Structure 1
């Protein structure tokens, strides 16, 4: 799959400064599903083109087929190596991540300027008809050219498939164009090759900032990008238009109303606050994922030792990258990331002041909870354990048929079920437990997230 970016801005070779890729060099980068190449087919002061070529390894792809794809042959015979979609979006962020932020070390004023750009994609998966790219890109100011691609040019009677050749032209900031592609290519395709979790809401809100709120297809884009009802509901809470807030823009002398924090951020901020109030200095993040809680805790000097544990080696690699551990050797004595499972006792986890299980337990099979409880409260025995989990009763407010909020959840508890489990665990292992709400509280259904604080008997609970 291929993406070319062409500009006639003078001098056109400044495109290399914006992309931070030298026109005289070929950049090759490994990807989990293959490799990408960045090169310049032409680089003159009058016109410069940068090409991003993505080569997908079909053998590697067959060993880890995309989520949601079924069928005996589909892992081996599919359009993933050829039709631009989420694979290209991932490669785009990997190759042009700095350019997507709108930063340029050598041409900062140009990075903030709209320049003439032509974006060409020879094959794009457009599941929704050849008119779909026009609906998505035209409202953003692009002139859109779409050419449907037949299944086989030699046999036109076979008909067309959901693939188009796409050309986009606009006077636009490069960073905006890259963010538009990053969000809209997976939406056009309607599939992603990787697991879709809460971090996808972060990506959508971050890369959709400044344009998605007012897009006429906002709801459709959100649903296609996130796929799952619970994630779509989270994202919708952050789309606020001026006329939705009271019939027009606020008067100049009216104070701006701060945006409501996302539930995911509110939950992590709440747990970080509890840990800080506890006075803990040595803290475990059990099921740390990509290290979002650790990054919050790292900002407080109070936490002298932070340890994240996760069963996913890939998540730990991402956490290390986002914590910048390789770039900041001074953090190595303060932050450790461990690969392991809570299904087994682990002596590395003993002796800590506090630990957190943030939205972890609902991802376990119910019969494994007993082992987790014994290993955390019985073996590791932190002075304080903070546990959060969704409140199933609150799901009724979503206005759809009752169900789990996330496809990887194995269960979700009511308030009574959560309290019964926590009280039994506290009694079994010599802890006291109290319960606190997190996030919005419904008068009938309670909080969107429920939290339990386990403290060793004789210790004061954080306030």
Structure 2
């Protein structure tokens, strides 16, 4: 199996820093099923290519099978695993490029955080669904996709195409994102995993899919194929994504058995309930201008724009790419001039003062605070309530106590969460912040209320004290 990653970023040899593999060395990494080798076919300032070659040992792979699931067929020794990219290549890549996948690069961190020109080539890739499915999965991620079906035998064209494609991806993408996308999508394209799937598969999927899976239009297809069509795990993955407030509206369907993630699985997804609660609260407050702080791909913005009382709407996010997703969701390019005047998208960090977010009747921090490092929370409080000073602020965040009701959940609800509060901690935080900045606070639950652990989401509604002034 072979995978190459090339860049024309200058100096192109910086790719060695990002991958943590020196261009002048050939390095081997032993795997339980073979040997992975990293080398550089070219390394100049103008263009640099890193190659990952995986030599699979089918005998070793066959002998590693569990005793309770023996395979006595010849296929365990004679197969395509040595030649066609599969989940085994994804496993090797995850191991060999683990630091690069995390986005860490001490010597070139600024470069690791940036999108750079990349070209990824996989000469032979099993692809159930042919070139069309490769386009369907990679194009929404910003790649230019070249997927060419490989014929069964070029001497006999009447035999048609094989199940393999030659794949070439070209784009300007952050390297860590590219590697994580491949880690997930290689087994999705093959629709097969060549290793045992444990109960932590959902966590692995969410970690590797952070920042792109939640906004992918074929999220349900990816989850289903990645998890081997295991219905319970797929429902858990889709429910957790919907629960997190990501770009999913109908991911959770009524459960067919008792293995569904949420006790309220037959009700509306928690994400929908959360948006409904925020919109109803904004209406009850009489707000006409609203800024969604940390708006993500714009799901709440779309609903605000569709609601007549809200005459001025803004969304902020630190990620320019996420704002591009929001613009596409809102169809800004096709809006009438009058409609476009109602909406503003701003790239802004919530820990730095920004005069553009001041002057709104209400602000929303929906599933945002838990993504902020605790040491930076006071900066966020100062920026939002001390400087911007909206008439009201709505904050929603997970209730940690409710996590015990989620089957298959280990740790926090999302790999990017820096913390999760229980109800007492949320109450103490919101009381302190309200007293500090001259607000009154009321707390509510969102979603199914459990007598023992409360609701899955908790919301604080801050309203500025009547005698307070913006002056």
**TM-score, normalised relative to structure 1:** 0.56
Distance, in Å, in 2 between the alignment partners of 1:406 and 1:240 is 23
Match of 1:377 among 365, 385, 392: 385
Could you tell me how far 1:350 is from its partner in structure 2?
1.6
User: Residue 188 of structure 2 aligns with which residue?
Assistant: 184
Q: What residue is the counterpart of 2:252 in the other structure?
A: 238
Q: Give, in whole Å, the separation in 2 of the partners of 1:446 and 1:418.
A: 13
SS of equivalent residue, structure 1 residue 445: coil
Instruction: Report if aligned partners of 1:186, 1:192 keep a CA contact under 8 Å in 2.
Output: no
1:268 aligns with 2:265: no
How far 1:273 moved relative to its partner? 2.2
Distance in 1 (CA, whole Å) between partners of 2:216 and 2:324 is 18
Q: Pick from 81, 98, 106: which aligns with 1:148?
A: 81
The CA deviation string for residues 229-276 of structure 1, in whole angstroms up to 9 with x for no partner, is 95498899935465669xxxxxxxxxxx99532222322232122112
* Partner in structure 2 of residue 335 of structure 1: 343
Structure 2 Cα separation of the partners of residues 232 and 300 of structure 1: 22
- After superposition, the Cα gap between the structure-2 partners of 1:71 and 1:397, relative to the gap in structure 1 and judged at 3 Å, is farther
Give the structure 2 partner of residue 425 of structure 1: 433
Written as runs of structure 1 = structure 2, the 5 A alignment for 1:20-39 is: none
Q: 1:182 to 1:273 in 2, by over 3 A?
A: farther
Distance 2:216 2:331 in 1: 19
Q: Does residue 1:290 correspond to 2:289, yes or no?
A: no
Aligned to 1:25: none
Determine if the alignment matches structure 1 residue 408 to structure 2 residue 416.
Answer: yes
Instruction: Note the residue ranges of structure 2 that are not aligned, 5 or more in a row.
Output: 28-35, 39-53, 63-78, 86-91, 94-121, 139-184, 194-200
Alpha-carbon distance in structure 2 between the residues aligned to 1:307 and 1:232:
23
1:389 corresponds to which of 397, 410, 422: 397
Structure 1 residue aligned with 2:306: 299
> Which of 231, 236, 242 is 1:218 aligned to?
231
SS at match of 2:291: strand
Asked if the contact 2:253/2:266 (under 8 Å) is kept, the reply is no
- Could you say if the C-alpha distance between residues 279 and 326 of structure 1 is closer, same or farther in structure 2, counting changes exceeding 3 Å? same
Distance 2:275 2:416 in 1: 20
Corresponding residue pairs, total: 328
1:53-86 C-alpha deviation (Å, 9 max, x unpaired): x996446699799xxx986569x99999xxxxxx
Q: 1: distance between equivalents of 2:189 and 2:308?
A: 42
Deviations 1:190-210 (Å, cap 9, x if unpaired)?
98899624873564776449x
Displacement of 1:298 in angstroms is 0.7
Q: 1:73 to 1:278 in 2, by over 3 A?
A: farther
Aligned to 2:81, the other structure's residue is in SS state strand
Q: What's 1:135 paired with?
A: none
Report how far residue 417 of structure 1 moved: 0.8
Unaligned segments of structure 1, at least 5 residues: 2-53, 81-122, 131-145, 153-160, 246-256
1:449: which partner in 2?
457
Distance in structure 2 (CA, Å) of the matches to 1:263 and 1:323: 22
Could you tell me how far apart the structure 2 residues matched to 1:417 and 1:442 are?
A: 18
The answer (yes or no) to whether the contact 1:184–1:221 under 8 Å persists in 2 is no
What's the counterpart of residue 434 of structure 1?
442
Q: Please state how far the C-alpha of 1:150 moved relative to its aligned partner.
A: 3.6
Deviation at 1:182, TM superposition (A): 10
CA distance in 2, matches of 1:441, 1:199: 31
- Structure 2 Cα separation of the partners of residues 258 and 396 of structure 1: 15
Distance across 1 between alignment mates of 2:380 and 2:436: 13
* Structure 1 residue corresponding to 2:286, chosen from 263, 279, 288: 279
